[in-house]
Structure 1
Amino acid sequence: MDRYLYTDFEKTATSNSPGCFSKIYLYNRRSHISKWLWGMLLVLIAVLFLPWTQNIRAKGTVTTLRQEQRPQQVNTVIAGSIAKWHVKEGDFVNAGDTLLQLGEVKVEYFDPQLLQRTKDQITAKQQSIDGYRNKASATSMQSKALEQARELKLRSIENKIAQQQLKISTEEADLVAVSNELQAYQRQIDAARIMYDSGAISLTELEKRKINYQNGLAKLNSADNKLQQSRQELTNLRIEQQASLQEYADKIAKVRGDRYSSLSDAAGSEAELSKLQNQLANYDARSKLYYIVAPQSGQVIKARKAGIGEFLKEGDMIVEIVPDKIQYAIELFVKPMDLSLISQGQKVRFVFDGFPAIVFSGWPGGSYGTFGGRVIAVENSVSANGRFRVLVVEDAADSKWPAQLRIGTGAEGIMLLKDVPVYYELWRNINGFPPEYYQLQETRQKEKK
């Protein structure tokens, strides 16, 4: 019934306005949607077989390859107060240029003639050392003189001992002679008594012989006393010899003690001299530290102290210097899961903050505004953010990095891996496999073959 109504409606519309119905409803035109669908399906299938470059993305910042090229703090070594600024923030300085002049704040360094006075003390101490050394030399000569005097004294005593020994020998011979004489007198008395008893001689002759005997006995006692006295003198000479040895030993020991005392005083003075010389060197070095100089060429930034007279403690930061000659590098932080896929010399593409770029991560050749680099170092220690740090430098075979780069500029790195078909990459992502998993398997199979 509806078909009949539609036919009637068509006849009515055609009779009223011929051609309008066919133009509005287009029921006679053939549809091409199926062709477009088939074409799109074929294109999609072709796209699935296009090559796709696997990659790892990581964010990082611009830094420097060498530590000394990074922004450097300039600190004060000594405490002081700001006396004069020679630069301002933003100025470019060369290595050795004066940045700041400090004033002294410690009481022990206030003396303006501190260096000269310390030099005078060093001179006086040196003279004292020379005096002690001269005294030691004099005592050494005195010791030698005493040794020579001792030798002379001992020789003199030895001569006296030798003379006394000769005298004792003579007196011993005299004693023997007197003893022999006394024995002769004794025999004469004995003979005289016999002769007197027989009446051959008189009593007077007997008395004379007794007197001669008594005189001989007196001579014997006198000779014996002289011999004992000479022996006592010999003993005294030997005692004098020992006393002289002891006396000169005491004198020489005292002189040597004075010499060693002088040498000890000289050594102590030398230690004090070294201490004074050390103080002088420290004072001289401190006087040079009043002028803070630039350690290297660069731009002055971040002045922490400003006013004249502000106090600075040891180690306080004054300014920072950004070196003007920098070899830029990029520090990227990669996930621990991706660390095993990164090696030295690996190619990396970069997109820097502030530089326009059109990126096709799977087709790096079709990207625009990216820059090349290569991995130079991979740290084995995890960073505070839980990722591993990778250093990347400029690839000499690629376009140069922008001259407008500054330290701290953000960068996004795309580390290029294996080329695979698009369908393979989709399948890998759906299953959550790592990019290089199957490449490693293929490498192992090749090694086995």
Structure 2
Amino acid sequence: MSNKFLSYQHIYRHNKKSGIKKWFYILLGIGVLLMFLPWTQNIRAKGKVTTLRQEQRPQQINTIIGGKVERWFVKEGDFVKKGDTLIQLSETKADYLDPKLLERTGKQIEAKEYSVLYYQGKITATENQIGALQSSLKSKLSQLQSKLLQARIKIKSDSAEMKAAENDWKIASLQYNRQKAMHDSGLVSLTQLESRNQVYQTSLARKISAENKYFASQQEISIIQFELNAVQQEYAEKISKAEGDKYGSLSMVATSQGDLAKLQNQYASYSIRNGMYYVMAPQSGQIIKAGTSGIGEVVKEGEMLVHIVPDQIRYAVELYVKPVDLPLVSPGQEVRFLFDGFPAIVFSGWPDASYGTYAGIVSAIESEVSENGKFRVLIKEDSSFRKWPPELRMGTGANGIALLKNVPIWYELWRNINSFPPDYYHIVKTKEKK
């Protein structure tokens, strides 16, 4: 009776063949086959776009000297080239307000140079004076020594003459005494005695004259020696005074040279400072984030004026990896990226089947943990897979997928069910044969 209803025939399929079992086994077989397909283990980390080189990162442009803002030559967003003028400052310190500071400092340097030349000339003159005194002393000493030698020769002659006169006197004295005795005895006349007495008196006078001459010669030698000592002392004093003047001049030269070096240092500092009133761009790039504004605003030494983003950048990515995943990352390891703003289709375990991802290679791993409790990893571009987009900007967000070992899907499911970590391994680099 029920077979008469069409709805009954559609709902109840008694005595009809069903393909459910067949499809079940087919799907089961496909599922078993899928379990043996390869699956690339990976770990994920978030980061942002940066660069490997410090000079290519955004940097502050600071003022070296303090001053007042006179003029802006750029605005935020402008692109500048290396050496372009960014801002003009004027002086605010009282020590540098003189508009002729360099000129006056140069005159001080010139005057000090003349002072050094004067003292050097005085030193030369003093040295010449010392040389003249030494030559005069030598000549004077030579004259006195010659005179002393003559006096010594003369005293020898006077000594011999005195001895001869003394011998004559002794002989005359003996003859006079004998003559007197004979006169007393009446053997000779008074005239003969007087004649002998005259000879005696003459020899005595000659003896006394020879002695006086000898003592005078001795006195002359003493006078010459005294004069010799006096000349030596006189010239020693003059030479000492001249040498004192020389060393005084040398001291003044040293002091003046020190003052001159100090003035030259000041002049160089003033000259360099004058060149710092115009702040130049250290490299080509875009001006962002002006730290000061307006005209007439005073800035301090070292204060930030603007930021500049270099235009020539070799981009890299910095990722922050959890400490538990750090042993799984090593230099040279391949990493895939998803950049913010660039659409992509990602198959986590099949990186080759993903679309819109970019490749990189681990360049460096920092040994110190960052403030966020993670380790910073730097990744450079792997252009052999796909070039990174030129529209990238510093600070763009990046999601990194570090590719690990290839395992079967069943193993990956079993690992996740048991909360096991990915397999730990290192990339073995083989040396190329030359």
TM-score (norm 2): 0.93
User: Is residue 57 of structure 2 the alignment partner of residue 70 of structure 1?
Assistant: yes
Give 2:77's aligned residue: 90
Give 1:22's aligned residue: 8
CA distance in 2, matches of 1:208, 1:432: 162
Give 1:185's aligned residue: 172
Could you tell me which amino acid in structure 1 is paired with residue 12 of structure 2? L
Comparing 220-229 with 152-161, greater Cα deviation is found at: 220-229
Q: CA deviation at 1:207?
A: 4.2
User: Is residue 389 of structure 2 the alignment partner of residue 402 of structure 1?
Assistant: yes
Picking from 352, 363, 373, the partner of 1:386 is: 373
Alignment of 1:26-425 (within 5 A): 26=12, 28=14, 32-425=19-412
Comparing 273-282 with 179-188, greater Cα deviation is found at: 179-188
Q: CA deviation at 1:242?
A: 1.4
Comparing 244-253 with 275-284, greater Cα deviation is found at: 244-253
Could you tell me which amino acid in structure 2 is paired with residue 359 of structure 1? V
SS in 1 for 2:348: coil
Pick the structure with greater CA Rg.
1
Q: CA deviation at 1:23?
A: 5.0
Comparing 116-125 with 167-176, greater Cα deviation is found at: 167-176
CA distance in 2, matches of 1:174, 1:44: 155
Number of residue pairs the alignment of both structures matches: 426
Q: Deviations over 1:181-222 (max 9, x none)?
A: 111211211221231133111345334433543443333223
CA distance in 1, matches of 2:244, 2:44: 85
CA distance in 2, matches of 1:420, 1:141: 99
Q: Deviations over 1:218-254 (max 9, x none)?
A: 3322321221121011011011111111111111121
Q: Deviations over 1:50-96 (max 9, x none)?
A: 11111111111100121100001000000101010000000000000
Comparing 71-80 with 390-399, greater Cα deviation is found at: 390-399
Q: Deviations over 1:284-319 (max 9, x none)?
A: 000000000000000000001001111111110000
CA distance in 1, matches of 2:49, 2:101: 49
CA distance in 2, matches of 1:184, 1:349: 143
425 and 25 in structure 1: CA distance in 2 versus 1, 3 angstrom threshold: closer
Q: CA deviation at 1:280?
A: 0.5
TM-score (norm 1): 0.90
CA distance in 2, matches of 1:431, 1:220: 147
Q: CA deviation at 1:391?
A: 1.1
CA distance in 1, matches of 2:7, 2:161: 191
Q: CA deviation at 1:257?
A: 1.7
Comparing 82-91 with 149-158, greater Cα deviation is found at: 149-158
Could you tell me which amino acid in structure 2 is paired with residue 53 of structure 1? T
171 and 19 in structure 1: CA distance in 2 versus 1, 3 angstrom threshold: same
Question: What residue ranges of structure 2 are gaps of 5+ in the alignment?
Answer: 429-434
CA distance in 1, matches of 2:11, 2:351: 49
CA distance in 1, matches of 2:7, 2:378: 72
Q: Deviations over 1:80-133 (max 9, x none)?
A: 010100000000000000000001010010000011111111111111111111
SS in 2 for 1:336: coil
Could you tell me which amino acid in structure 2 is paired with residue 134 of structure 1? G
Give 1:428's aligned residue: 415
SS in 1 for 2:171: helix
CA distance in 1, matches of 2:87, 2:389: 34
Structure with more of its chain in helix, by fraction: 1
Give 2:431's aligned residue: none
SS in 1 for 2:170: helix
CA distance in 1, matches of 2:183, 2:10: 215
SS in 2 for 1:158: helix
Identity level (%): 53
- CA RMSD, aligned part only? 2.0
